[in-house]
Structure 1
Amino acid sequence: MKTNRYLPVLGGLLLSVGSNAQTTRLATGAQKPMPAAEWIDADTGHKIVRLTALDGANESFYFHNNPFVKSLGTAGDKMVYYHTSPAGKQLYVLNLKTHQAEALTRPFAKVHGEIVGRKRREVFYQTGDTVYATHLDSKKTRLVYVFPADFKADITTLNADESQLGGAWGSDAEKEIYRQYPAKHDFFTRIYEAKLPRTLFTVSADGKGHLTKLFTDKAWLNHVQFSPTEPNLLLFCHEGPWEKVDRIWTINTKTKAVQLIHKRTLDREIAGHEWFGADGKTIWFDHQKPRGVTFAVTGADLRTGREKTYALTRDEWSVHYTSAADEKTFAGDGGYPTSVAKSAEGHWIYLFTPEGDHFRSEKLANLKMHDYKLEPNVHFSPDGKWLIFRANFEGQAQVYAVEIAKSAI
């Protein structure tokens, strides 16, 4: 068992360093590593805590993949994350009350598809063509599914009643493009222009081996995620250069009805990095009209189709956005000078509060020393008091939390 002895407690959730520890104001990332596991960001006045130990690379989940499981009784809430060591990559779980970190899985050379089932208290993941689930408390692992030779695909999501896993299958021709052109800037346009078939699918989460092919199109179907509340509603995108695609779609897994969520209305308009609000009623997305000129976050009401848009400045644009459980506040992980916003001052973890037709922003953490090749992928903590993200400003990837309330120090 790996225990991180230096973590503080995130107000009811996690954070208490030893009584002799002093929290000081420091420039985030000015030292590699930082001299302590917590400090006050000198530029923002907000406390930052490193949640993972400096014993290898550690990374939290993609922005719309929930990494948290509620406590059992008085036990602390748990957060699942990836740990990488010379032995390989494996899933760990961190207790947000006791600060203990434990390995959930053995190391794998390659592992992906991480999905936390909060009701089942399992984490699903895939290595090669095989999907497993490991129980977060007992650590018992079970075989869920093995993809057949003629349908090698990847899981990315779990539905609301946790009965079905979902994802997208790509053709061998598509896989060959990835093999020949492994860098994103090389494969991205090639795959889009190839117009190869992709298929959305589900497999049963109970391990009974049932595969359902939902929908096939000669388009790059991607970014697949189930609604958090409606078991039969699956969100997906038409991937490609965002200014060339009507990207955001849903499919009803029972009726197979497909619906476009946002139709572009002007040249080079983009909408993407979509995610469901916690209540499943709204799909939110990064919205620019046109690309790189105006910046906003827009939400589409799934019942009425009406949209509401909150404007942002160029500096506030973020690689990914997310929303709190009550959708009254939002967050962003900032950007870098070569990203779509082309801002030299976008390197912050932001808290956003809607005010009329725009977001009021607050800078929580300065990521000037972070290399955005690793996307921070911000999450609200289970108690809503912290933003959790990954960064490499200490020299390797680690998981951090920044307190939303400003420090009194």
Structure 2
Amino acid sequence: MKNDRILLEVNLTTLAEREVYRVSDDWVGYGTWVANSDCSKLVGIEIAKSDWTPLNDWQIFHDFFHKGPHCRLLRVDLRSGESQVIHEEKIWLGHPIYRPFDDHTVAFCHEGPHDLVDARMWLVNEDGSHVRKVKAHAPGESCTHEFWVPDGSALIYVSYLKGQQGRTIYRFDPESGVNEALMTMPACSHLMSNFDGTLLVGDGSGTPVDVKDTGGYSIDNDPWLYVFNVAEKRYFRVARHDTSWATVANSRQVTHPHPSFTPDDSAILFSSDKDGKPAIYIAKLPAHPSMLSA
């Protein structure tokens, strides 16, 4: 998405660009726009231009939540450029993701400070029907960084409680509607899994900036990348990311590691500004890791 306005397709052989979709003048394209498994369409969020404020730092992020912006979740056909609104609310929406290999199911979130949102994670059918909550938050609970396991089997997310250092990894089964606690972990900000969800990777972090009560959620800074073995409920350190978590050039997340596995599960791709400027790194998984118990 270029300039919050134009969705472009890039030919990787010729580098030629094709305009797929253009946001109308009364709206602004927001956040990540995510394709389905066969890359024939994607889902995205648009925010009414009259409500929009560039989210250049975390204070603006906090303030924007209270505005209750007019948002719409839509899908775009990547061949024709035709769009259709799936869901629309006067509440801040974000993080839209098709369930892999199931275009009928779309996840999205109620965005904002995690300790203020009513419930972060939601599902909706692609035709706009059956809006349902993934999890009702317990008192003092925040949930964050949900993602679909790439094989489509589950939605995984992180739960943490006010006044506690550790966090818990949860798995939501979209067929049964059951939330299952998988294991505890150090305070990581972002998780991702390998294809079948048997391994998870996370980036150690400090006190979250996307909560209102930072004092209540204060935690020690952790500079490590971790891999979690779900079946064994154990984990190991891979490498230090040593990122600053700073906002750079009005981008709030460019220094966030956002680690992910290489397709063969042999290494971790992540971002960091440990050498001065934000850059992308690869850390190979150790052949004989020192396992830690959750």
Q: How many residues align?
A: 273
TM-score (norm 2): 0.84
TM-score (norm 1): 0.62
Query: 1:276 and 2:148 equivalent?
Result: yes
Sort the Cα spacing of 1:361 and 1:292 in 2 relative to 1 into closer, same or farther, 3 A: same
Distance 1:270 1:128 in 2: 29
Larger Rg: 1
C-alpha contact (below 8 Å) 1:159/1:232 kept by paired residues: no
Percentage of pairs with the same residue: 20
> Structure 2, unaligned stretches of length 5 or more?
247-254, 290-294
Sort the Cα spacing of 1:201 and 1:291 in 2 relative to 1 into closer, same or farther, 3 A: farther
* Corresponding position of 2:105: 233
Distance 2:77 2:221 in 1: 46
Instruction: Give 1:165 deviation, angstroms.
Output: 2.1
Alignment of 1:10-409 (within 5 A): 125-154=1-30, 156-175=33-52, 178-179=53-54, 182-184=56-58, 186-206=59-79, 208-244=80-116, 245-264=118-137, 266-290=138-162, 292=164, 294-313=166-185, 316-336=186-206, 342-344=218-220, 346-355=222-231, 359-368=233-242, 370-373=243-246, 374-406=255-287
Distance 1:360 1:366 in 2: 19
Aligned Cα RMSD in Å? 2.3
* Corresponding position of 1:42: none
Instruction: Give 1:234 deviation, angstroms.
Output: 1.4
What secondary structure is seen at the aligned counterpart in 1 of 2:72? strand
Larger relative contact order, structure 1 or 2 (CA cutoff 8 Å, min sep 6): 1
C-alpha contact (below 8 Å) 2:165/2:219 kept by paired residues: no
Distance 1:372 1:406 in 2: 29
Instruction: Give 1:291 deviation, angstroms.
Output: 6.2
Residues 231-262 of structure 1 show CA distances to partners (whole Å, capped at 9, x for unaligned) of: 23211001122223211001111253211111
Distance 2:200 2:19 in 1: 37
C-alpha contact (below 8 Å) 1:243/1:291 kept by paired residues: no
Instruction: Give 1:195 deviation, angstroms.
Output: 1.9
Sort the Cα spacing of 1:293 and 1:318 in 2 relative to 1 into closer, same or farther, 3 A: closer
Residues 24-58 of structure 1 show CA distances to partners (whole Å, capped at 9, x for unaligned) of: xxxxxxxxxxxxxxxxxxxxxxxxxxxxxxxxxxx
Residues 7-34 of structure 1 show CA distances to partners (whole Å, capped at 9, x for unaligned) of: xxxxxxxxxxxxxxxxxxxxxxxxxxxx
Distance 1:153 1:240 in 2: 17
Instruction: Give 1:338 deviation, angstroms.
Output: 6.4
Distance 1:149 1:345 in 2: 42
Instruction: Give 1:337 deviation, angstroms.
Output: 5.5
Residues 343-400 of structure 1 show CA distances to partners (whole Å, capped at 9, x for unaligned) of: 43511011111256xx4221111234x3122101101001110011111112222211
Residues 83-130 of structure 1 show CA distances to partners (whole Å, capped at 9, x for unaligned) of: xxxxxxxxxxxxxxxxxxxxxxxxxxxxxxxxxxxxxxxxxx434522
C-alpha contact (below 8 Å) 1:337/1:346 kept by paired residues: no
Residues 293-320 of structure 1 show CA distances to partners (whole Å, capped at 9, x for unaligned) of: 551110100001112213335xx21110
Distance 1:338 1:189 in 2: 12
Sort the Cα spacing of 1:345 and 1:272 in 2 relative to 1 into closer, same or farther, 3 A: closer
Matching residue's letter, 1:220 = W
Matching residue's letter, 2:83 = L
